[in-house]
Amino acid sequence: MLEINNQYNHIRAKVQTEVLKQFFGDTLEQDVDKIPFYIIPKERVPARCCIYKERAMIRYRIMAMLGINIEEDDDEMKSLSEYVKEVLEKDTPPVPILTTISTACSACPPDRYLISDACRGCFARPCLANCPKDCISFTNGKAHIDESRCIRCGKCEGVCPFHAVVHIPVPCEQACPVDAVKKNEEGYVEIDYKKCISCGRCATSCPFGAIVERSGLIPVVKMLKSKEHVTAMIAPAIEGQFPGTLSQIKSALLASGFSSVVEVSQGAETTSVHEAAELGQRKEEKLGYMTTSCCPAYMELVDKHIPFLSEKRSSALSPMAYTALWCKEQNKDTKTVFISPCLAKKVEAARMKSVDGVMTFVELASLFLAKGIDVREMEGSDLGDTSLFEDCREFALSSGVASSVLRRVENPEEVAVLSIDGIDKRMFRSMKIWEKRPPEADLVEVMCCEGGCISGPGTVVKPSVAKRLRGGNNATTPVKSMRTPIVRG
Amino acid sequence: MAKREKVAVKICVGTACFVQGGADLLLYDEFLDPIVLANCEIEGVSCLGKCKEAGSKEGAPFVQIGDVVHGDMTEKKFCDLVAEAVHA
């Protein structure tokens, strides 16, 4: 995964903020075609081949933000203004949630291992001795890899004392746990949506920004503008994403046009209670292990790739689902918007009637910027009585779901827990063998993103920063909260 | 040698700076040279107002070192400027 702090993300935030500013200023349809020129002025030193290509990319970026399927609906004769007009008239759920921009794709060369100039042609030659395919030879005193025989096992890379072997991956292919991202015959990226589990790893790994998420932001801001009653359902991971406490974040949301704010930790509590009861029952009936069911990318993984796990996962609904149902019970006319770091949640939401919109933290950040809202300057709002579900804010962290469930089980010491902290290619393979060799645990917690939702594709800050700003009033004094006490050994 | 005053460093933690890379600067403990770190007083500060200035060439995130406000702050730039101020 790329570092969050990078030029692509900065430009994306700029584009998003500008589009939102124009949307709220009622000039979007009229001026949207000027945004590429505003973002990429002619004085700019381009990071792609030229500013014209960069502007073309901004156009695609805006299309993705409008929720358009670029692969299928890219009509170069059509202006952005025409797209905006269509999108403002009619909402369509952005599924599949990812789309590719082949013009942005650099058609990276296939995954390979190369011997660099650092090779000293040493006497021990561990690369030669450890290559299982015998594809390393020495010419002119330097190692050489025979591409046609190399199986990309990486053994030579690990054994070279000079780090002379370089692995050059194809970032998107490498990131995809289920091999849904592949290069086509021309070498450009393509996603097989029958296999894709919408985890978003490819989108956050491509250094060219060729894989983008189709945003559901426009339907949400339309609701905000129309003055309907809109409920913001904030995922537990939101704490630490902005420079302010949960109650300040609530105020900021109210200031940006939401009518009420509900913590999804509340629904997480219901999920925990349900899973705790189900776990007890399964144990009594000796049905073996049970997995959690709150991670939507994992749900997709089971449905598309590991069907035998469908009876192993808990029947509990996700925290988002319970929260949305509760909101609709309180006020049947409210529109519910789920705000989270997750892309796969959009797929789950599209299947549900009770969730009317989804946005990511990154999109929320742009909304705050567009409206000139400073979370830190907000007077805190009352969060109400949170004592019942406060501990479920841990759902955002790896192993937090399991501990929330354990606190609601009768005999927690008798429950063996296994935490799956991130699903990559290797973990996917391990999970497939569970059919024959079940994991030695009663409760298996599955998180598709390493570290949990705080590492999700729609986060604003690094997990290491977010973690330190979570809890209590840490976020009110961000700089102080980050200070590590000096440990003397 | 007289004890020198610590250099005042103020990292903007307004929303605009924070979400545009400023949050990463909060990891200063990890990347700043310990000697430099010991000679400065780092604080968080609310919006310095620079981002709202029309026609400003520099963008978020902003950091004030001594009396000067610097924009487009990166980890590297931050280390260099703070070290420079400390050793001045």
Residues A25 and A137 in one domain: no
Provide the domain count of chain B.
1
CB-CB under 8 Å, A462 with B29: no
* In-domain check, residue B2: no
Residues A270 and A413 in one domain: yes
Residues A89 and A128 in one domain: no
Residues A312 and A416 in one domain: yes
Place of tokens 């005042």: B8
Contact residues on chain A for B61, CB-CB shorter than 8 A: none
Residues A125 and A191 in one domain: no
Pick the more confident residue, B49 or A42: A42
Residues A232 and A357 in one domain: yes
* In-domain check, residue A198: yes
User: Considering only alpha carbons, which residue of chain A is nearest residue B73?
Assistant: A5
Residues 81-120 of A with CB under 8 A from B: none
Tens digit of each residue's pLDDT (9 = 90 or more) over A170-196: 999 999 999 999 999 999 999 999 999
| A56 C-beta neighbours (distance < 10 Å), count | 18
CB-CB under 8 Å, A377 with B19: no
A271: domain CATH number is 3.40.50
> Å from A30 to nearest chain B CA?
23
Q: What is the pTM of this model?
A: 0.92
Place of tokens 């590991």: A306
Which of B11, B25, B26 to substitute to test the interface with A, most A CBs within 10 Å?
B26
Res B21: pLDDT? 87
Contact residues on chain B for A5, CB-CB shorter than 8 A: 21, 24
Residues A207 and A237 in one domain: no
Res A7: pLDDT? 84
> Which range marks the domain in which residue A186 is found?
7-104+180-214
> Which range marks the domain in which residue B28 is found?
8-87
Res A359: pLDDT? 96
* In-domain check, residue A40: yes
Q: Does residue A331 register a pLDDT over 70?
A: yes
Tens digit of each residue's pLDDT (9 = 90 or more) over A40-81: 999 998 988 899 999 999 999 999 999 999 999 999 999 999
Which whole number is the average pLDDT over B16-32?
A: 89
Q: Does residue A488 register a pLDDT over 80?
A: no
B28: domain CATH number is 3.40.30.10
A123: domain CATH number is 3.30.70.20
Instruction: With cut-offs at 50, 70 and 90, classify the pLDDT of residue B3.
Output: low
Instruction: With cut-offs at 50, 70 and 90, classify the pLDDT of residue A382.
Output: very high
Residues A320 and A368 in one domain: yes
Instruction: With cut-offs at 50, 70 and 90, classify the pLDDT of residue A489.
Output: very low
CB-CB under 8 Å, B26 with A482: yes
Residues A252 and A189 in one domain: no
Provide the domain count of chain A.
3
Residues A458 and A353 in one domain: yes
Q: Are strands A357-360 and A260-263 parallel, antiparallel or unpaired?
A: unpaired
Residues A302 and A388 in one domain: yes
Q: Does residue A378 register a pLDDT over 60?
A: yes
* In-domain check, residue B67: yes
Which whole number is the average pLDDT over A234-251?
A: 95
Tens digit of each residue's pLDDT (9 = 90 or more) over A192-213: 999 999 999 999 999 999 999 9
| H helix count then E strand count, chain B | 5, 4
CA distances for A410 relative to A95, A286, A294, A354, angstroms: 41, 17, 21, 32
> Å from A479 to nearest chain B CA?
5
Tens digit of each residue's pLDDT (9 = 90 or more) over A337-353: 999 999 999 999 999 99
Res A51: pLDDT? 94
Instruction: With cut-offs at 50, 70 and 90, classify the pLDDT of residue A453.
Output: very high
In terms of Cα–Cα distance, which of A191, A195, A193, A145 is closest to A172? Answer: A191
Which whole number is the average pLDDT over A474-480?
A: 82
Residues A268 and A190 in one domain: no
Q: Does residue A361 register a pLDDT over 50?
A: yes
* In-domain check, residue B3: no
Integer-rounded Cα Rg, in Å, for chain B is 13
Residue of B18, B20, B27 with shortest CB distance to A10? B20
